[in-house]
Every structure is written in structure tokens, then in C-alpha cells.
Amino acid sequence: MSLRIFADHCISNFIMSKLRDAGHTIFRLKDYIPQDSEDEVAIAKAQELDSILLSLNGDFSDIVTYPPANYKGIIALQVRNHPEIIPPLMTRLINYLSAHPETNHYEGKLLLVEVHRIRIHE
């Protein structure tokens, strides 16, 4: 089953390509709103498109500002200025998405994707 994922402006073509290759539908931020849009606009657009927000932006990891219960899902990739970890990070994420292909699994959740684990906040 294909998940609908809204890729924030910081998501690389490599990441989007990996997700598309895994069968997911990717919406690029720049195709819908200006790239310099505020975070609130980006997450609202993800909701409007009935999509899970995917970002490298640490702001979306803040559960006080962005309570997971208010959204269809947030996936925050934890790269921390180490782009060399992106390939194994994507392997972990794609395996997780394959194991949980239902959209409703992500509703109300923040997934913090790290190389060796995925932490989930609800």
C-alpha cells in the first residue's frame, strides 16, 4: 500500500527517490507552496493533502509546538549534520513503512527516525 508523504523543503531528491522506489506517493513542498514558507504553512499543506509530513527540520520534533495528536503523522529524520547516515537511515525508514503500510498507523504520531531505532511519540 502506498503512503502519501509530503516532503518538506529540506528533503533531498535521494530521499524522495528512495521513497518513490518503495512505492510511496511523494508531494514536494516546492510544488505546492513557496520554499521559504513558515513551518505552520508546510504542516497545514501536508494535512490538506492528507499526507504524512517528512522533514529534517528539528522544529517538527517539538511535541509542544506540533502535538502529534493534531496531525496525520510527522516523520522527522534525525540526521544531525551527518549526511553520511542518510542511506542506512532510509533503509530503516523504508523497512518500517513496509511493515506498517496503513495510513492510520501514522495518525497522531511523531516518528523520530535514527539509524539504529525509531522512537514514536503520541
Give 67's pLDDT tier (boundaries 50, 70, 90). very high
Distances in Å between the Cα of 116 and the Cα atoms of 16, 50, 93, 96, 97 are: 21, 29, 10, 12, 15
- What is the domain range of residue 77? 4-121
- CA angle 78/117/94 to nearest 5° reads 80
Q: How many independent structural domains does the chain possess?
A: 1
Q: Give residues with Cβ within 8 angstroms of 25, minimum separation 6.
A: 2, 3, 4, 5
| pLDDT tens by residue, 75-120 | 999 998 899 999 999 999 999 999 999 999 999 999 999 999 999 9
d(CA 73, CA 20): 18
Share of the chain above pLDDT 70, in %: 99
Residue 8 predicted with pLDDT over 80: yes
The reported pTM is: 0.95
